Amino acid sequence: MIISQELKYAFVSTVKGGTNSLYQILTEHYQGRRYGGFHHNDVREIPADWHLFTTCRNPYTRAVSTWFSTCMRKEDRYYFRQMCPNPDSFEVFAEWASLMQSQLHRMNELQQLLLMTQTQRHQGIQYDSILRMEHLLSDFSRLPFVDSNIPEFPIINPTRNQRGTVGEYMTTRAIQAVQKWMAPDFEKYGYSIEFQGEAPIETSAA
């Protein structure tokens, strides 16, 4: 979490939702500082008059980003390659992630955060703003502590230019798996459950 006592805001991260980019811009340009752990989301001590915000992301894009960053990099940091029946296949990974929703309690905290839906992550928290990754700059510009002179958003994610477009991975089987895995997110955030041929272009590398 990033907070600013001077500007009276708190940003709660959504895993695979632009966390690194927002952490950097908030700490460097908007008097933010780390509060709690990297993905800390206990907001009980945040004053009621502060602006509380987070992000959301197209479920199809988020699913591919989660798979690539956990299974297609050199190190198996989260042990998903060991757990998934075929980690080199996005179809299989998405099906496995869907099945694991009922087994998240058996995983460690980081594994849970990566596989849980955004709806689960945000549950119980009343946000003042939820920034959509597809138009992050315009949403960010509406935050009460942001003026018209917005710094350039940093591109941090090392896998952004390593993977193909989301549409390259969206076979019929993969689409059905993501729809099942992230079903609550399509409804809660108003994303079309039908894959339109390609996911929306995002402002930040997430």
Contacts 24+ apart (CB under 8 A), 46-51: 46/3, 46/10, 47/8, 49/8, 50/3, 50/8, 50/9, 50/10, 51/8, 51/9, 51/10, 51/128, 51/129, 51/143, 51/144, 51/145
CA 153 to chain centre: 16
Contacts (Cβ under 8 Å, ≥6 apart) of 70: 77, 78, 80, 81, 114
Q: What is the pLDDT of residue 149?
A: 87
User: Looking at the whole model, is its pTM more than 0.85?
Assistant: yes
Residue type for position 173: R
User: Residue 28 corresponds to which tokens in the numbers above?
Assistant: 């460097």
Among all chains, which residue has been given the structure tokens 């993969």? 174
**Residue 63: strand, helix, or coil:** helix
The tokens of 165 are what?
A: 């477009």
pLDDT in tens, the chain (206 residues): 999 999 999 999 999 998 999 999 999 999 999 999 888 999 999 999 999 999 999 999 999 999 999 999 888 999 999 999 999 999 999 999 999 999 999 999 999 999 999 999 998 899 999 999 998 999 999 999 999 888 888 776 655 566 788 999 999 999 999 999 999 999 999 999 999 876 555 554 44
Q: Which helix (H) or strand (E) holds 52?
A: strand 51-56
Domain ranges of the chain: 2-189
The 3-state secondary structure of 153-190 reads CCCCCCCCCCCCCHHHHCCHHHHHHHHHHCHHHHHHHC
Q: What is the spatial distance between Cα 16 and Cα 98, in angstroms, rounded to a whole number?
A: 17
